[in-house]
Amino acid sequence: MRGGLLLLIASVALLPTGARAQAIPASGPVQPALPGERNVETQGGPRETEGAPGDSSSTAEKPAGPQLPDLPVWSPSDFEKIRKGELVAGQDFFAPTPVDPNAKIEPLPLPKIPEPPVVVPVPEVDETVIPTEYLTEYFREVEQTPEGAPIFLNDPQELLSQQEFRDRESFLRYHSSDSDINMFVYLFDERQELPGGTNVATVYRDLFSQRGSAAVVFYYLGAPERSQVHLSSDIQAVISQDEQNRALRAAIQEGFEKSDAAYQLDNFLVEFSIRLYWIERELKTAAASTIAGLAQEDASRGAVEVTVSAPDGAPWRIGPILQLTLLVVLFGGSTLLGWLLLERRRYRFPEVECGPLLGAPHAAGVGAVISFSDSNLPPSRQRDQAPDYLQRM
């Protein structure tokens, strides 16, 4: 019993001063009487240890710190109540804090709202106009690398990122190293328009006419269908306009295979490079045939000179036999010429782009198979239509 009481006292003593004031119920916690102390039993409120009236010494001994209420003291009756269960020690400990009805809540000062930034009206940019500062960069002489090689991709507006620019430039350099027809590409934005009087032909004439075989390409990033191409005059002399248009159309079509503008340019350039490759082949073939034609012309000129000198010694009066012979020779000659022309005729086919079938990269055209094991059966009876796995393997 005494141990429990001591524990209770110790727990109260360990509480902060303010808490202790509240922890002690108003009805009277028990404070055991200590030697030399006077116990005062109070009812209905916290007990206060009071000195005797007029005892000035007790007042003088009080500390000068903040005035705190005195601790309540236990009385024997409180102790009895606790023991009987009528009083629970600390029952008011968690009682709600009394609210002062007269207290006033001071309104918090309002935070200062910063002044809204002044919006400066941005002038509208016309997307179709190429800024003037870039025009000079576009249409000046072709830039060169420190090694002296021309830069094939012209993008002063930096429409491509550095990496993208490097990739495309590298491809154009590769193309240039592999082909006799260099490809110079000018990049513009999707909706940009060239200033009046400037077009791909004038740019070619001003800057590339002395550069040998070249293809100048105006490419609008994000709008491959607006691309323009101008091929040098030596190419135009051999390659028909139709074929040039076909090459451009194929490149545009290839560009549209991608959705990203940079990749569209990639596809466009690769396809156009392929087309230039074929054009280059045709140029070489045409050059070879021109040389052969010139040689033939020289030979025939010599023959004409001989025939012109012939009439001096052979008058036309010889008669109809000679005329008939001449007619026969002419007829035979023209027939021979026709046959030669037919023999020399070249047959080309429109391009057909069939997808890979059965995983085959080049061919999947399986024609007929015929057996020739039996000389008594006609070919139609020896046509092999049976699956291979029924015969072999």
Partner 1 sequence: MKCPRCVQRVHRMARQCPHCGFGIGDVDKVFGEQDVRVGSLTDAAGVLRKSERAAVRRMLRRFQVRFPRLFFAIYFGTFKELPGPRQFGFWLLNRGAFDDVDVSRPNEGGVILCVDVGGKSAGITYGYALQPFLDEESTFRALSAAHPYLLQGQWPKASEVVVGKISRTLMKQSRRARRNPAKFDLRESEPEGANDVLERIRARHRDSQSSTQI
Q: Which CB atom, from 117 or from 378, has the smaller least distance to partner 1?
A: 378
- Give burial (CB, 10 Å; 0-12/13-18/19+) of 47: buried
Q: Verify binding: residue 365, partner 1, rule CB under 8 A.
A: yes
Backbone angles phi, psi at 86, to 5 degrees: -75, -20
Q: Is 355 in the site for partner 1 (CB under 8 A)?
A: yes
Which residues, in sequence order, are CB contacts of 39 under 8 Å at separation 6+? 31, 33, 73, 74, 75, 76
Buried b (16+ CB within 10 A) or exposed e, 225-250: ebbbbbbbeebeebbeeeebeebbeb
Nearest to 42 by CA among 77, 18, 12: 77
Segment interacting with partner 1, rule: CB under 8 A, options 21-29, 46-54, 276-284, 332-340: 276-284
Q: Is residue 285 a contact point for partner 1 (CB under 8 A)?
A: yes
371 makes contact with partner 1 (CB under 8 A): yes
Nearest distance from C-beta of residue 355 to partner 1, angstroms:
5
Which x/- pattern, by CB under 8 A, does the window 242-261 give for partner 1?
------------x--x----
Q: How many residues touch partner 1 (CB under 8 A)? A: 55
> Tokens 């045939």 correspond to what residue?
289
Q: Which is nearer to partner 1, 65 or 350 (CB)?
A: 350
- By CB under 8 A, which span of 19-27, 70-78, 161-169, 265-273 interacts with partner 1? 265-273
Q: Is there binding between residue 105 and partner 1 (CB under 8 A)?
A: no
DSSP string, 65-113: S---PPPP---HHHHHHHHHTSS-TTTTTTPPPPP-TT--PPPPPPPPP
364 binds partner 1 (CB under 8 A): yes
Nearer to partner 1, 176 or 192 (CB): 176
Q: Which two tokens stand for residue 237?
A: 């002399």
Select 22 or 244, whichever has its Cβ closest to partner 1.
244
The region of 32-40, 132-140, 208-216, 366-374 touching partner 1 under the rule CB under 8 A is: 366-374
Helix (H, G, I), strand (E, B) or coil at 189: coil
Minimum CB separation of residue 226 from partner 1 in Å reads 20
Q: Are residues 21 and 71 in contact, defined by beta-carbon separation less than 8 angstroms?
A: yes
What the block records as the tokens of 22 is 């509240």
Q: Any idea which residue has 């002063």 for tokens?
A: 156
DSSP classification of residue 206? I
Look at residues 386, 357, 355, 353 and name the one whose alpha carbon lies nearest to residue 369: 386
**Looking only at residues 144 through 203 of this chain, which bind partner 1 when binding is defined by CB under 8 A?**
178
Residue 278 beta carbon to partner 1: minimum distance, rounded to whole angstroms:
7
Q: Tell whether residue 273 is a contact of partner 1 (CB under 8 A).
A: yes
Binding segment toward partner 1, per CB under 8 A, in 85-93, 140-148, 277-285, 294-302: 277-285
Phi and psi (nearest 5°) for 168? -70, -40
CB-CB contact of 87 with 62 (8 Å):
no
Does 387 bind partner 1 (CB under 8 A)? Our answer is yes
Q: Of 172, 267, 279, 283, which lies in the binding site for partner 1, with binding defined by CB under 8 A?
A: 267
Residue 110 dihedral angles phi and psi, to the nearest 5°: -70, 135
Select from 30-38, 60-68, 274-282, 324-332 the region that touches partner 1 (CB under 8 A): 274-282
Q: In the complex, what is the shortest distance from the CB of residue 181 to partner 1, in angstroms, rounded to a whole number?
A: 14
Q: State in angstroms the smallest separation of the CB of 354 from partner 1.
A: 4
Is 112 a binding residue for partner 1 by CB under 8 A? The answer is no
Which residue's CB is nearer to partner 1, number 321 or number 354? 354
Q: Which is nearer to partner 1, 124 or 351 (CB)?
A: 351
Exposure of 300 by Cβ count < 10 A (0-12 exposed, 13-18 middle, 19+ buried)? exposed
Report the interface residues with partner 1, using CB under 8 A.
178, 254, 257, 267, 270-271, 273-274, 277-278, 281, 285, 345-373, 375, 379-380, 382-389, 391-393
